[in-house]
Each structure stands twice: as structure tokens, then as C-alpha cells.
């Protein structure tokens, strides 16, 4: 398993924001979002070319690292795009479940979860990318991949919002994929506290008008845009 980092922090985004969590961040992503705050999982920061900066960890090595953070039992599998590795992840998810962990997976929604993944995971934080990511729509929206998340009834759908123009795309995706409105979160784009706070004040008002949940980015507000947080 190519692993970028394993660390203890608080979940910064989504419905479990504020929960002390062990983060397992896998390497590689299948998208290249312009505002990605974890480019170190897919790009060499010095050369701006595809990177290979990861630790190849076995199942046992990864379990050992995770268990070092006892008594935390909330695990966030993130990336990059963790579901690129879901075939080799299955035994890890199974072991974590047997050890009593609550498992969240953060994904861009372009890879359908396997039945095994759905069985072991407690909560999917699906973040389909919209045009502000500057990724081609054929790559970022995969019509065969989003419906299994909706059907699983374990998914929350979080959209990164920069401005008013982004909101119509969210509405389009909700109706196209029958995403339950009450499972939608809007999160401001921003990798520094002043930008985030300004956009948060604006976006909270939109959420109240339209009946969406608001997602903070606590880790950016608390620690800045740093690895290991
Ligand atoms: S999908 Fe996530 S990890 Fe991948 S490039 Fe976009 S923001 Fe970064």
C-alpha cells in the first residue's frame, strides 16, 4: 500500500468535523484539481511532475501504526484517492472493523465502491468535483460511480464552493444522480484562514437559504495548510 502519511488529528471536514481521528493518507490521485491541498500525494513539489514520495507499507505495518494511537477508534482513510487501492485495502478495512474502528472514507466519487468496501466502511465523504477544479468533466464525474454511493445510504456529498456560479452545478448533480438534499454539504474553498473565514460567512447564508449543511475546514483554521494535520 503506498502511504503518504499516518497521523492523529481532529477531522476537519464533513459531518464528523471535530472528532479526534487517525488519518491514513494513501498516495496517488486520478484527478489534478487546481486548488488541491494535498498535491504532495500525486505531484513532486520540486519538479511539478508525477511524484513517488510514499512509504510502501504492508497490512501489518499499517495496522501497527494505527494501533499506536490507542485509544482513538475513529479512522479516516483519505488521499489522494484511496479507492484507487480498494482491492488491497479490503483486508485492512476488515481488520480495522474487527478491532472496533469507525471507518470514514474520503473520496472524489470517481471510483465505485466494491461490495466489500461498502460492507466495512461506516461513512463515505464523497466530494464530486465541479468546474472550479479545472478538471475535465469526463474525468471528474463518472456516471457509473456515483449511484452506488447514493444507494449505499452511507454517503454524504460535499462540494467545494468558490462563488455563486458553482451552486447551479451542485443543483444539477443533485437532480442528475438523485442525491438526497439532506446529505449535501457545501464547503468553502480556501487554504488560508482569512479566505476561508470570508467565504464561510457567505456560504453559511447560502446553506441556510437552500437547506444544505455547511462544512468547515477546521484543520486549515487551526493549523494552516500543513502536512500531518
Ligand atoms: S480529488 Fe482530492 S486529492 Fe485528488 S487532486 Fe482533487 S482535491 Fe486533490
9 Cβ below 6 A of ligand 1 = no
32 Cβ below 6 A of ligand 1 = yes
CA of 182 from ligand 1 middle (Å) equals 24
CA of 173 from ligand 1 middle (Å) equals 18
User: 96 is written with which cell numbers?
Assistant: 480495522
- Is residue 221 one of the residues assigned to a domain? no
Please compute the mean of the pLDDT values over residues 207-229 and round it to a whole number: 93
- Is residue 185 one of the residues assigned to a domain? no
CA of 39 from ligand 1 middle (Å) equals 7
Tell me which residue has its CA closest to atom 3 in ligand 1.
Answer: 80
CA of 79 from ligand 1 middle (Å) equals 8
CA of 153 from ligand 1 middle (Å) equals 23
Number of domains in the chain: 1
30 Cβ below 6 A of ligand 1 = no
Place of cell 495548510: 225
Q: What residues make up the domain containing 10? A: 2-160
- Is residue 217 one of the residues assigned to a domain? no
- Is residue 208 one of the residues assigned to a domain? no
Q: How confident is the model at residue 229 (pLDDT cuts 50, 70, 90)?
A: confident
- Vertex 76, ends 148 and 147: CA angle to 5°? 10
- Is residue 50 one of the residues assigned to a domain? yes
pLDDT score for 50: 81
CA of 78 from ligand 1 middle (Å) equals 10
Q: How many beta carbons lie within 10 A of that of residue 114, not counting itself?
A: 15
Q: How far apart are CA 229 and CA 218, in angstroms?
A: 10
Q: How confident is the model at residue 49 (pLDDT cuts 50, 70, 90)?
A: confident
Q: Which of 15-24, 39-48, 169-178, 213-222 has the lowest mean pLDDT?
A: 39-48
- Is residue 193 one of the residues assigned to a domain? no
29 Cβ below 6 A of ligand 1 = yes
- Is residue 64 one of the residues assigned to a domain? yes
Give the torsion sign (CA, 69, 97, 12, 65). Answer: positive
pTM of the model: 0.95
> What are the pLDDT digits (tens) for 50-109?
888 899 999 999 999 999 999 999 999 999 999 999 999 999 999 999 999 999 999 999
Pocket test for ligand 1, best of 14, 29, 106, 133 (most atoms within 8 A of CB): 29
State the CATH number of the domain containing residue 107.
Answer: 3.20.20.70
- Is residue 8 one of the residues assigned to a domain? yes
Please compute the mean of the pLDDT values over residues 140-152 and round it to a whole number: 98
Amino acid at each position: 500500500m503506498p502511504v503518504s502519511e499516518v497521523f492523529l488529528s481532529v477531522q476537519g471536514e464533513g459531518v464528523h468535523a471535530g472528532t479526534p481521528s487517525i488519518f491514513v493518507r494513501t498516495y496517488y490521485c486520478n484527478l489534478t484539481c487546481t486548488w488541491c491541498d494535498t498535491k504532495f500525494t500525486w505531484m513532486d513539489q520540486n519538479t511539478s511532475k508525477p511524484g513517488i514520495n510514499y512509504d510502501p507499507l504492508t497490512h501489518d505495518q499499517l495496522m501497527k501504526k494505527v494501533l499506536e494511537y490507542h485509544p482513538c477508534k475513529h479512522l479516516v482513510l483519505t488521499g489522494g484517492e484511496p479507492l484507487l487501492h480498494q482491492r488491497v485495502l479490503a483486508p485492512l478495512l476488515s481488520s480495522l472493523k474487527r478491532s472496533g474502528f469507525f471507518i470514514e472514507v474520503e473520496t472524489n466519487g470517481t471510483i465505485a465502491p466494491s461490495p466489500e468496501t461498502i460492507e466495512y466502511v461506516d461513512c463515505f465523504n464523497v466530494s464530486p468535483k465541479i468546474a472550479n477544479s479545472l478538471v475535465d468533466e469526463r474525468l471528474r464525474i463518472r456516471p457509473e460511480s456515483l449511484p452506488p454511493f447514493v444507494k449505499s445510504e452511507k454517503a454524504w456529498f460535499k462540494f467545494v464552493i468558490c462563488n455563486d456560479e458553482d451552486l447551479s452545478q451542485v443543483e444539477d448533480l443533485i437532480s442528475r444522480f438523485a442525491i438526497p438534499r439532506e446529505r449535501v454539504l457545501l464547503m468553502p474553498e480556501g487554504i488560508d484562514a482569512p479566505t476561508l473565514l470570508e467565504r464561510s460567512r457567505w456560504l453559511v447564508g447560502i446553506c441556510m437559504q437552500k437547506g444544505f449543511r455547511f462544512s468547515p475546514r477546521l484543520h486549515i483554521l487551526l493549523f494552516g495548510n500543513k502536512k500531518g494535520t
